[in-house]
Structure 1
Amino acid sequence: MNPLAYYELQAAHSLFGKAAGALEAGEARKVRAVAERYAEIEAAVLGSAEARGVCLQPEAIDDAFEEIRARYEDPAAFDDALDDAGLRHGDLRTALGRSLLVEAVMARVGARVPPVGETEAEIFYYTHLERFRSPETRTARHILITINDTLADNRREAAERRIGEIARRLAARPARFGEQAMKHSECPTALNGGLLGDMPRGQLYPELEAVLFALREGEVSAPVESELGFHVLLCERIHAERTLPWAEVAESLRTRLTEERSRRETRLWLQGLMATATVS
C-alpha cells in the first residue's frame, strides 16, 4: 500500500470533493503535499512519549469506515474510489486506526490543561462584556399568499385581494392570527400557526424586516410584498437588546475557555514536536 494513499483519499475529498484518481494535475500536486504533511504529523505523534498506552474503542474503526463509505452512492462507487487511491478495505481500516490514534493522542495532550475556574471565567466575562450582548429580537408570525399566474386564486390580483381580506380580519381580531395562518397561509409555517420564531435583524427579507421592526408588540401589519408573495406579519413579542447575565453564560463560558486552552496547548505541543522531528 502507498503509505500516503489514505491521506490522499481524504485530502482529495475535503479539498476538491473528488476521488483521488479524478484530480487534475495541479489538484493532485496540492493533495500530495497535504498528504505528505499529514503523514509527517502522524509519524511524529505516534512516535511521541504521549502516544504510549493510547488505545481505541473497538467500534471506533468500524464507525470511521462506515462514515467514509457513506460518502458514496453505492458500494461499487466506494470500491472504485479505493481502487483509484490504491487502497483495499483492510488497508483503509489500518490507516483509519492510525489516524484515530493520532486524534486520541492529541486529545490526551489537550486534556492535560486544567479546566478554567469560575473566577478566571468571570474576569473574562466582565472584561469582554461586549461579547455577551444579545441583539433585539422579535417573536414573529406571518401568513403568506404566493403569486402564481398559473393558478386562478394566486394570480397577482386575486392574491392581493385575499391577503387584504386576511389583514382586515386580523386588524379587528389579532388573536385569530394562528388560526388564520393555519387556514390560509401557503408557507410550511402554517402548521405551527405561522410562527417564524425569535427573529433578529438580518434574517428576513429586507421588506419584511423593515415592517416587523416597525410594529408594536401585538400589532399586525398591513400586507407587504416580498419575492415570495404577499405577507401579513404579527409582532407577537419584542425582546429588547440586553447583556446576557453572568449566571446565564457561566457554565458554557467555562467550557468554551477550557476548550480554547486545550486547543492552544495541543497546537503548541505539536509545533514543538514537529520542530524536533525536523531537526532530527
Structure 2
Amino acid sequence: MNAVIPDNNLSSVPNELAYLSLRSALNRYQKSTAELSAEELKVILNEARRQYRLENLILNAPEAHGVIVPGNRLEAALQEVQTRYEDESTFQEDIARNGMNIQDFQRALQRELYIDTVLERVGARAANINEIDVDIYYYMHPEKFNVPETRTVRHILITVNPDYPENTYSAARERLLNLATRLHRNLKRFGELAQKYSECPSALQGGLLGKLPRGQLYSSLDETLFSMKESQLSAPVESELGFHLLYCEKIHPAGAVPLVEARPKILDLLQKRRRQICQKSWIRQLQQQATANLENA
C-alpha cells in the first residue's frame, strides 16, 4: 500500500520518498532540497510521488523476484552521490534535513539499484540489433558521421612572467627564436626540444596537443595552425600565455567516419534504444494492469 504523502513537507515522508526528492533536486536544480524555493520544492515532491508509485509497481512485479544487487555496486553509487557535496559533513547534514540518517539513505539507494537491476533484466529481453540495422542507420543519417578537418599539432611554449629575468617579454621571445633557429636546421628534434624547454604540461608528451579541430586553441594559435601546411613549423605566435612555436604534424581532411569505425557506436546506440523501448512497454503494461485492478476492486 502506498503511504500518504503530506504536501510540500519532507519532515514526515517515507525514507524512500525523501531520497527520491533529494535525487530529483540534485538532478533538476543542482541543489539540495533545503536550498529549494517553495515552488521548486512543490515540483520536486510531485515528481518524487510519481516516481515512488511507479517504483512500487516495479518492485511488486514477477520480474523483480530473485534480483540481487552486489555490495560493491552500492558502495560505488554511494561514493558518486557524495562527490556532489563539498565534504562528508555537508552530505550527512543534507540527508538529515531530509529526515534520513546514513543507514536510511543507503537502504533507499539500494532500493534504487534494485529497481535498475530489474529494468536491466527486462531490457535484456529485447532482440539483438543485427548488421543490417546498423547499415541502415549509417546510410540514413550521414550527417551524424561527418567530421571536420583536424590537425595533429605540437607546440613549444615559453611563458611571459616579468618576475623572472628569463621570462620577461623580450627574453621569452628571444628564447623561442633561438629554438626556432635550431628546429629549422632539424625539425625532427621538435619533440626532444619541446620536452626539454617547453613550459606547458604537454612537454611530457613532446609538446603534443593532439588531433584538434578549429576553435580548440587561443584564436591567434588557431588562426596560425589552420593556415599552415603539413610538416610546417610556424613563426613565433603570441597568446595570453606567452610565445609559442607550432608544428603542424599532420592534416586530417574533413570527411565521413567509415562504417567500420562507426559500427560499434551505432550498435551500442541502437541496442540501448531497443532495450529502453522494451522497458517502457513493460512499464505501460504494469500501469494498465494496476488501473484495471483498481477498476475491478
**TM exceeds 0.5?**
yes
Letter in 1 for 2:265: S
Give matches, 1:215-230, under 5 Å.
215-230=228-243
What residue is the counterpart of 1:163 in the other structure?
176
> Could you tell me how far apart the structure 1 residues matched to 2:217 and 2:70 are?
45
What residue is the counterpart of 1:126 in the other structure?
139
> Could you tell me how far apart the structure 2 residues matched to 1:42 and 1:164 are?
67
Aligned residue pairs, count: 280
1:191/1:87 Cα in 2 relative to 1: closer, same or farther (>3 Å)?
same
Letter in 2 for 1:55: I
Alpha-carbon shift at residue 93 of structure 1 (Å):
2.7
Give matches, 1:160-239, under 5 Å.
160-239=173-252
Alpha-carbon shift at residue 89 of structure 1 (Å):
3.0
1:62/1:196 Cα in 2 relative to 1: closer, same or farther (>3 Å)?
closer
SS at match of 2:233: coil
1:203/1:80 Cα in 2 relative to 1: closer, same or farther (>3 Å)?
same
Structure 2 residue runs without a partner (length 5+): 1-11
Letter in 2 for 1:95: A
TM-score by length of 1: 0.87
Match of 1:2 among 13, 28, 39: 13
Q: Percentage identity across aligned positions?
A: 41
1:75/1:211 Cα in 2 relative to 1: closer, same or farther (>3 Å)?
closer
What residue is the counterpart of 1:27 in the other structure?
40
Are the aligned partners of 1:136 and 1:238 in contact in 2 as well (CA < 8 Å)? Answer: yes
Letter in 2 for 1:222: A
TM-score by length of 2: 0.83
Greater shift, 177-186 or 130-139, is seen at 130-139
1:61/1:175 Cα in 2 relative to 1: closer, same or farther (>3 Å)?
closer
Give matches, 1:44-55, under 5 Å.
44-55=57-68
Are the aligned partners of 1:19 and 1:84 in contact in 2 as well (CA < 8 Å)? Answer: no
RMSD over aligned Cα, in angstroms?
2.5
> Could you tell me how far apart the structure 1 residues matched to 2:180 and 2:94 are?
57
What residue is the counterpart of 2:123 in the other structure?
110
Match of 1:98 among 94, 111, 120: 111
Greater shift, 93-102 or 125-134, is seen at 125-134
> Could you tell me how far apart the structure 2 residues matched to 1:200 and 1:65 are?
38
Are the aligned partners of 1:139 and 1:199 in contact in 2 as well (CA < 8 Å)? Answer: yes
The reply to whether residue 150 of structure 1 matches residue 163 of structure 2 is: yes
Deviation per CA, 1:141-168: give whole Å up to 9, x if none: 0011112222222222222222222223
> Could you tell me how far apart the structure 1 residues matched to 2:137 and 2:99 are?
51
1:79/1:248 Cα in 2 relative to 1: closer, same or farther (>3 Å)?
closer
> Could you tell me how far apart the structure 2 residues matched to 1:260 and 1:22 are?
35
> Could you tell me how far apart the structure 2 residues matched to 1:227 and 1:274 are?
59
Structure 1 residue runs without a partner (length 5+): none
